[in-house]
Amino acid sequence: MAFTTLHRCPSCRASNRVPAAHLADTGRCGACKAPLSPRGEPIEADSAILESVVQGAKVPILVDFWATWCGPCRLAAPEIEALAKDMAGRALVLKVDIDAHPDLAVRYQVRSVPNFAVFRGGTLFLQRSGVATRWELSRWLEQAGARPV
């Protein structure tokens, strides 16, 4: 089953289902037809969500592999949230807790966290471990095809 997320309309508060392929698109509320903005916050991902979004999204995707016990991961979290907001409509940001989803850590050979992977067109474009600045993460997404600001 393809991943869909619920997007609450800011005008009428109706819940709208948004499939993975349209998370970066501007849409319209099914109830009141008000505009719905593209996804501008990180998406907590498991194996099914990661696969669905990576295969379905039309924009580059940054995946933040992190862990609750990781101090640098906690320090990077506000920057990751800000990046998701900055890149809304141009890229998507996913977060994978490696303790909750060790299968993904194994699949993507995550040996240290934080670890960032960028996907383009359903395939891995680049992967780096260690803390990175929001500017650097944004540059990686732009190299993968996200429109510059």
- Give the tokens for residue 140: 């990686």
Residue 101 and residue 68: Cα distance in Å, rounded? 12
Instruction: Single out the catalytic residue among 9, 12, 29, 70.
Output: 70
- Verify whether residue 70 is a known catalytic residue: yes
- Range 67-102 burial, b when 16+ CB lie within 10 A, else e: beebeebeebbebbbebbebbbbbbbbbbbbbeebe
- Verify whether residue 32 is a known catalytic residue: no
Task: Return the CA Rg of the chain.
Answer: 15
Instruction: Single out the catalytic residue among 12, 29, 32, 73.
Output: 73
Looking at the annotation, which residues are catalytic?
70, 73
